[in-house]
Chain A
Amino acid sequence: MDRKRLAELMQHLDYDPAPLEAGEAFSWLEEHDGRFGHFIGGRWSAPGGKLLPVIDPSSGTAIARVTMGNAKDAGRAAGRAADALRSWSRTAGVERAGYLRAIARAVARHASLFALVESLETGDPVGKSRGIDIPLAIRHLEKYAVRGAMEAGGDPGGFAQGVTAAILPRHSPLPTLASRIAPAIAAGNTVVIKPSESTPLTALLFAEILREEVRLPPGVVNVITGGVPAGEALVRHPRVRSISYAGSAEGGRRILGLAAGSGKHVALELDGNTIFLIFGSADIDSAVEGTVEAAFVNRGWIYSGGSLLLVEESVYHPVIERITRRMERLRAGSALDATTDVGPIRSEERLEDIARLCRREQEGGAEIRQPASWRRPEQGFHYPPTLIANVREVDAFAAAHPYGPVLACMSFRTPAEAMQSANMRRGIHAASIWTQDISLALDCAYGVRAEKVWINVSRAFDESSGIGAMENGCEVLREMFPWKGSRAKSWSGKALSKREREKILDGRATGRRTGHAGETSSVEIRAAVAAARETYPLWSGRSSTQRARSLHSLWEHVQMQRERLAGAISLDTNLPLESSRKELEATLLFLFTTAAYIDKHEGTAEHVSGKNLVINLREPIGVVGIVAGDEFPLLGVAAPAVAALAAGNGVVLANGRHPLAGLDLSEILRDAGLPPGCVKILPAGDPDQAGILLAEQEEVDAVWHFGSAAGGAAVENITAGNLKRSFVAGGNVPAWGDPILFAELIDAATKVKQIRIPYGV
């Protein structure tokens, strides 16, 4: 003990840095000589070719080198994963769950090593990796062990869809890895992981533990390192059947583009921004604390883009002052110091990006505030915590995804204005709303376009809260379910006789008497989309019980018109009435089931980790554009349209080659009391063309395509560019009665907004 230092501290009380003993991490790196190959089929390949340095942002030095993977490596890994698939997918679900448990335990055993390695490569303070990331990763593994055992247990291989490629982001590598591989292997898939080139070490450590301690069958989990080429080769590889990607929108587009038309399942989690809303009715000090904690300390955890703070004008100045004051107490330093609040930025280049962004804002008239007490630590890439008050170019700021300790701030006058400011921006991941007024809070939670809403809290880190988009407990496992597209054919029989045909025509007093009722022009599609956009809120605003009632009434109307509809099918397809009646019965059953199912579909409430109420609010996607297939002229129209409607969406549907039954259904929909305009069934001369038109329409939020493989691929190519959700059968004829397909349809029609409300202590 240094007496001089002690005397000094007695005069002015301060903390000591608490550097962690990182020997464990370095000796692990040394065991590998600081060089890593790929982990394929349960074996390490020799490091070779061009080696990529892994930089520790806290010191700016390279701590290890990894192999730059190429297409050949990706192919080898996908091949070994495909080999392993055969026995892994046939392993009982319970056994797979047991492996997941064992992995979770092994990660827990090495928690401190994982935390050190993660902090070393990401530059995130060890407090975050130790306190949040590692426990979360463990939790993901445990949770899917349980779910996997429950859901897949009775049906070995039933849910496996093949080899999954997990392409991981730079931030929070371990929890992201766990959240990707756990559902995949629980469902019987095998995985190839491609970690970010700048943070590959946690994945490699994970692989080593699988091999040494868990003894997971070789090939079930593989890791290849490298940059974009390795990732793209994986995406293109024919044995890879599903891809899960987290990262930039740009990367997401590229992957969707590569996978378009291949029938591969792609799950994306794209970088987004976090918005903080502070109202005058908030506990201001707690709001400031929460904002500072999230924006400066846990950056990269809750968001991977920028943070935007919107403050009610009446409290704008106090909030700004208090944040400024609070920033003075943030400690900058090495990621491996337990007292560090703000760790380093990932690279020197990034540092310059952030500085440029701030300069531009300053020149534009914004006020830049940085703590006066801040001293740049001697080593590493550090940027001071920065508040940009009265930010000018909010959108440019958000788009730049600064990924640094930067918080942009502006004021609002009314809750409506706050919602408008928030919803103007695309790609909002999370909104943190601060007010003591619960009805205001919930109103905003409902209104804001974000996937996660946190009320009076800004760090919500348990497995139920996930990391980002498209991920929310049950959905992830379901995404790993197969696409049960089958080669089902219509019921068939001998052709309709002339007499029968005339009899049907006689019965059709109203409506179109015969087949092709005209082409659909782009003008018509646009008009239909505009009408749906405008009117669907009337429909989605109804409770799910009310929607169920309308669908039930639709069922009744279809029943009343059964002869007419069966006749329409036969007229169009020239199939006997008997076969058409079978299709009609199947349609009625689908309608009835959907109405019953949707009756309680608003969402669920969970009670998680301590006193947190989590509401999973199911919301419609918006306007769903559907291209029906040629098979099943009635069921193939009614099933997707009704599924989309059931979830509260507006629907614009283009018929396949046999539009008559669909057009009849359209009239029946109107009679059943659905708001006019919110569903429009169009005859489509060229279904593939209709698909392209729908995918290109800005006001269409999702496109489902059940037509030809080529048409589906065209849709996927377009949605890869504009990042719309797509659901494409790839030329398969959907087995409409299949319960898993039903669940998938409802999922595709729904997005889940998660609202977290802590209460008490």
Chain B
Amino acid sequence: MYVAAASVDSRYAVHSIPFDRELLRHIHVNRSALGLRAALLGARRSFRRESEAAALLRAVQCLDLTTLAGDDTEKSIERLCAQALHPVAPETLCALGIPGIVVRAAAVCVYQNLVPAAVRAVRGAIPVAAVSTGFPAGQISLDLKLAEIERSIAFGAREIDVVISRALALEGRWGDLYDEISLFCRACDGRATVKTIIGAGDLGTLENVARASAVAIMAGSDFIKTSTGFEPVNATFEAGLVMAREIRRFEMASHGVRRVGLKAAGGIRSAETALLWLTLMREECGEARTRPDLFRIGASGLLADLQRQLRRLAAARSSAEHQHAMA
């Protein structure tokens, strides 16, 4: 097995804690209350004008620009990476009055075999994330999963998106799930960031989402991630709320030491939805949780809408200035 030896000062040692069933016992989730909270997320919070531009740019900066398709080629990966490095047109930034600011996506996210192409294309400017461990279903044996992680890292991936065995969660084998995620985290320790995909849409109940999140946090994940994008139900705000609250719980219990990130992925296509995710993070966990080191949005189609909305704001600004100049 490819298990990296955990060094004493490793992030993993700080991050993980031994499996503690007690921490799963008192998890209660009321679905209706969460539904109401989710529905009201944007009710009294609005990003407009400057704050809308800032929020759209923040969403771009938190973006794991993703392609996970059968027809991905080296060339299409190169194009994706170019987009990730320059997600906002210079004219737009200029029109917004911030020409000098560098805006990049947080990472590009690809299948394991395409990592080398992506690493070449990003030239070290941003990390490459690789989905590993039998993405998306996770239905391969453990040694192959670990081998895939090892191979992804060897190819130069600095972030690894792993999928949990949903079966373990559905069967209530939380200890076994902890062991599995632990192995993933150790395998990456010190070399790559681990984002553990809990597959919320496959877990059936929000309690299971909360428990799987807690187990993934205990096992030392750097991020917990909502979905693969291939489940019957995509990333819902309800699931996001539950996960954000688990993250908050562990952070509070460790007096701020255990800071785990959240990655929302699956079905996030509109800028509006992305901004609601930022609102969710800001309201539930604070502003620090809206930054790319602790928050990511995994999406492929979203960037186009973010660009569109930024262009709209830029145009409004320049036309306003234009009128001003004429007056």
Binding site for B on A (CB under 8 A): 1-3, 5-7, 9-10, 12-16, 18, 125, 127, 131, 280-287, 289-290, 321, 329, 331, 338-341, 434, 436, 456-457, 459, 611, 758-761
Q: Is B53 an interface residue (CB 8 A)?
A: yes
The chain B residue sitting closest to A280, CB to CB, is B26
Our pick among B46, B282, B287 for the contact of A339 (Cβ within 8 Å) is B46
What CA separation (Å) do A759 and B34 show in the bound complex? Answer: 11
Q: List 23 A-B contacts (CB under 8 A).
A: A1-B50, A1-B53, A7-B101, A9-B53, A10-B54, A10-B101, A13-B290, A14-B51, A16-B51, A282-B28, A283-B28, A283-B30, A285-B245, A286-B33, A321-B252, A340-B44, A341-B44, A456-B32, A611-B32, A760-B31, A760-B35, A761-B32, A761-B238
- A3→B96 contact, CB < 8 A: yes
Known A-B contacts A10-B54, A13-B55, A13-B290; A125 and B33 likewise in contact (beta carbons under 8 Å): no
Q: Is B154 an interface residue (CB 8 A)?
A: no
Known A-B contacts A10-B54, A283-B30, A436-B30; A131 and B252 likewise in contact (beta carbons under 8 Å): no
- A339→B45 contact, CB < 8 A: yes
Nearest 3 A/B pairs, CB to CB: A761-B35, A3-B97, A9-B54
Our pick among B33, B51, B238, B252 for the contact of A15 (Cβ within 8 Å) is B51
| Residue of A1, A3, A281, A287 ringed by the most chain B CB atoms within 10 A | A1
Apart from A3-B98, A321-B252, A761-B31, what are 16 other A-B pairs with CB-CB below 8 Å?
A: A1-B49, A6-B96, A6-B98, A7-B98, A10-B58, A12-B287, A13-B287, A15-B51, A18-B46, A283-B29, A286-B34, A290-B33, A339-B44, A760-B35, A761-B34, A761-B35
- A457→B43 contact, CB < 8 A: no
Q: Is B278 an interface residue (CB 8 A)?
A: yes
* Min CB gap B185→A, angstroms: 26
The chain A residue sitting closest to B33, CB to CB, is A286
Q: Is B47 an interface residue (CB 8 A)?
A: yes
Q: Is B109 an interface residue (CB 8 A)?
A: no
- B238→A10 contact, CB < 8 A: no
Chain B's interface size range is 35 or more
The chain A residue sitting closest to B246, CB to CB, is A285
Q: Is B191 an interface residue (CB 8 A)?
A: no
- A284→B28 contact, CB < 8 A: yes
The chain A residue sitting closest to B320, CB to CB, is A1
* Min CB gap B95→A, angstroms: 9
Q: Is B11 an interface residue (CB 8 A)?
A: no
- B30→A14 contact, CB < 8 A: no
- A329→B98 contact, CB < 8 A: no
What CA separation (Å) do A283 and B241 show in the bound complex? Answer: 12
* Min CB gap A434→B, angstroms: 8
- A14→B287 contact, CB < 8 A: yes
| Residue of A5, A13, A321, A329 ringed by the most chain B CB atoms within 10 A | A13
- A10→B28 contact, CB < 8 A: no
Residues from chain B with a CB closer than 8 A to the CB of A15 are 45-47, 51
- B48→A6 contact, CB < 8 A: no
Q: Is B143 an interface residue (CB 8 A)?
A: no
What CA separation (Å) do A389 and B97 show in the bound complex? Answer: 48
Known A-B contacts A13-B58, A15-B51; A127 and B252 likewise in contact (beta carbons under 8 Å): no
The chain B residue sitting closest to A321, CB to CB, is B252
The chain B residue sitting closest to A297, CB to CB, is B44
Residues from chain A with a CB closer than 8 A to the CB of B282 are 13
- B47→A289 contact, CB < 8 A: no
What CA separation (Å) do A751 and B326 show in the bound complex? Answer: 70
Residues from chain A with a CB closer than 8 A to the CB of B101 are 7, 10
What CA separation (Å) do A758 and B28 show in the bound complex? Answer: 16
Binding site for A on B (CB under 8 A): 26, 28-37, 43-55, 57-58, 96-98, 101, 238, 245, 252, 278, 282-283, 287, 290, 313, 316-317, 320
- A16→B36 contact, CB < 8 A: no
* Min CB gap A615→B, angstroms: 16
What CA separation (Å) do A14 and B290 show in the bound complex? Answer: 10
What CA separation (Å) do A759 and B320 show in the bound complex? Answer: 49
Residues from chain B with a CB closer than 8 A to the CB of A18 are 46, 48
The chain A residue sitting closest to B253, CB to CB, is A318
The chain A residue sitting closest to B40, CB to CB, is A293
Residues from chain A with a CB closer than 8 A to the CB of B278 are 13
* Min CB gap A244→B, angstroms: 31
Known A-B contacts A2-B50, A15-B45, A15-B46; A759 and B32 likewise in contact (beta carbons under 8 Å): yes
Residues from chain A with a CB closer than 8 A to the CB of B26 are 280
- A457→B46 contact, CB < 8 A: no
What CA separation (Å) do A18 and B245 show in the bound complex? Answer: 28
What CA separation (Å) do A15 and B30 show in the bound complex? Answer: 28
Residues from chain A with a CB closer than 8 A to the CB of B53 are 1, 6, 9
Residues from chain B with a CB closer than 8 A to the CB of A283 are 28-30, 33-34
* Min CB gap A609→B, angstroms: 12
Known A-B contacts A1-B317, A3-B96, A457-B33; A16 and B48 likewise in contact (beta carbons under 8 Å): yes
* Min CB gap A464→B, angstroms: 17
What CA separation (Å) do A761 and B33 show in the bound complex? Answer: 8
What CA separation (Å) do A381 and B54 show in the bound complex? Answer: 32
* Min CB gap B255→A, angstroms: 12
- B28→A457 contact, CB < 8 A: no
The chain A residue sitting closest to B103, CB to CB, is A10
Known A-B contacts A13-B58, A13-B282, A15-B46; A1 and B96 likewise in contact (beta carbons under 8 Å): yes
* Min CB gap B214→A, angstroms: 13
Residues from chain A with a CB closer than 8 A to the CB of B98 are 3, 6-7, 10
What CA separation (Å) do A301 and B100 show in the bound complex? Answer: 49
- A127→B44 contact, CB < 8 A: yes
- A127→B97 contact, CB < 8 A: no
What CA separation (Å) do A369 and B252 show in the bound complex? Answer: 18
- B47→A131 contact, CB < 8 A: no
- B44→A16 contact, CB < 8 A: no
- A758→B287 contact, CB < 8 A: no
What CA separation (Å) do A338 and B47 show in the bound complex? Answer: 11
Residues from chain A with a CB closer than 8 A to the CB of B238 are 761
The chain A residue sitting closest to B35, CB to CB, is A761
The chain A residue sitting closest to B318, CB to CB, is A1
- A289→B43 contact, CB < 8 A: no
The chain A residue sitting closest to B317, CB to CB, is A1
What CA separation (Å) do A285 and B245 show in the bound complex? Answer: 8
Known A-B contacts A289-B33, A339-B45; A9 and B28 likewise in contact (beta carbons under 8 Å): no
- B32→A758 contact, CB < 8 A: yes
Residues from chain B with a CB closer than 8 A to the CB of A12 are 287
What CA separation (Å) do A341 and B47 show in the bound complex? Answer: 16
Residues from chain A with a CB closer than 8 A to the CB of B52 are 16
The chain A residue sitting closest to B290, CB to CB, is A13
Residues from chain A with a CB closer than 8 A to the CB of B33 are 283, 286-287, 289-290, 456-457, 758
* Min CB gap A437→B, angstroms: 9
